[in-house]
Every structure is written in structure tokens, then in C-alpha cells.
Amino acid sequence: MKTLLVLDFDHTVVDDNSDTWVIRCLPGERLPDSVTKTYRKGHWTEYMGNVMNYLGEQNVTPDQIRLVLETIPFTEGMKNLLTYVSRRKDAIDCIVISDSNTLFIEWILRAAGLQAAVDEVFTNPARVDERGSLEVRRHHAHSCPDCPVNICKREVLRRYLSERAEYGAVFYAGDGGNDLCPVACLREQDTVMPRKGYTLEKRLLQPGRPVKPRVVAWSSGQEILEELKARD
């Protein structure tokens, strides 16, 4: 039976937030208050739409955004992890579930030559619109009260698993609060891997929060790789 590796993207695969990295396209690398004050908790994709509109108004092109995104650093060891996964497609499936967007993730993985490692990406759809600006939309509508309005990672993972043959083991690696919800999909033979010092690890350690899967914290992609190799 194959193994499934599920990865978050921002602060997991890459060592920063790809959405905020685009601000480096602007002079002074900052947004005006008129844009930043449009953010509402749980409505990040709507806010990023406002950011993209502003970049377009400043004549920042999609190519300029792509070139800036290609400079975002990968988290230590992640390139080795993804290279290994790309060579073991007979035994390992790999998906990304992220609150970023399709274009950012595609550009970053392609520039690093790592797109072959990832079988599917579940994130907010993005495209270049008729004006030549980037447009970002919600991944889906859902009713989960614990997740941002644009994506519930548990719903995404549950649907993915329901449509495929059973995996021998699932490894889920992430860092943020929105990576807690999909942990409910995992079984005792699975492993949740929170990044050390980040929100997911802190929430998993809260008293009275029972979780079925094994919990193994990580600080480098190499540690995730070693866990995979032990299973492989």
C-alpha cells in the first residue's frame, strides 16, 4: 500500500508566506493603510484580492510577481524531501493543501524544478484576468466553523481520501492553526508532523486535546524525510 504525504505550503514547504512575499514588488515594500485595513479575520483570500488589485493599479505585472516569488526561500531540507518524493512515485503520493493560490505555488515549485514531486495542489484558484492583473478566488464554500471561509483543509483531505484506495499511512506536515482541522481525518497508523515552535504544535499540545495519529514535531524537511524513509 502506498504512503500519502500531505504538505502545507507557506512556512512549511517555503520558509515564509508567499502571499506577503509579493509586497516586495512595491517601492518601499509596503502596502498603504487603505489596503491593509481591508483585512477581516478569516477572510484572507478576499484581502489578497484587494492586494492584487492594488498591485495592478501600481502597474506591477504578473511576470514581475512571478520573478519575486521565485526568490522565496525553501524551508531547510524541503528540497531534499521533495526530490526524494519525486523519485519514489511508485510508493509515495504527495499533495499540497494550502491557503495560498494556484499560480504562486506553481511558479515557486516550477522555478525550483520540484513540480513533479506534487501530484495535486488544493488551494485558492488564481488567474491573470483581462486587465493583466492577478485574480484570486476561494477554493470552496464550506460550513466548518473552525476554518477560514475560503477553505477547510479537513473537507479537502476527507474528500481526497474517499476517492482513492486506502493508504497504508498518511503523513501530514504543517505549521498553522488551519492545519489542526484535517488532523481529525487521520488514523492511529498515521502521523501528524507540526513544525516546532509554530501554532499547530502548540495547539496539539493543549491539555485535553486527544489525537489519534502519532505526533512528531519537525524543524527541517530532513526530519520529515527520515520519517518517510522509515516507512518506505
Domains of the chain: 3-15+74-126+139-231 (3.40.50.1000), 19-69 (no CATH)
Length in residues, the chain:
232
86: left (phi over 0), alpha (psi -120 to 50) or beta: alpha
Q: Is 10 an active-site residue?
A: yes
CB of 138 within 8 A of CB of 148?
no
pLDDT value of residue 147? 86
3-state helix, strand, coil in the chain (%, to 5): 40, 20, 40
Asked if residue 107 has pLDDT above 80, the reply is yes
In this prediction the pTM is 0.94
CA distances from 19 to 26, 42, 127 (A): 13, 15, 15
* Average pLDDT value over all residues in the chain: 93
10/178 Cα distance (integer angstroms): 12
Asked if residue 131 has pLDDT above 80, the reply is no
Of 10, 19, 99, 175, catalytic: 10
What is the band of 132 on the pLDDT scale with cuts at 50, 70, 90? Answer: low
- Ranges 29-38, 121-130, 187-196: which has the least confidence: 121-130
- In the DSSP assignment, the letter for residue 43 is -
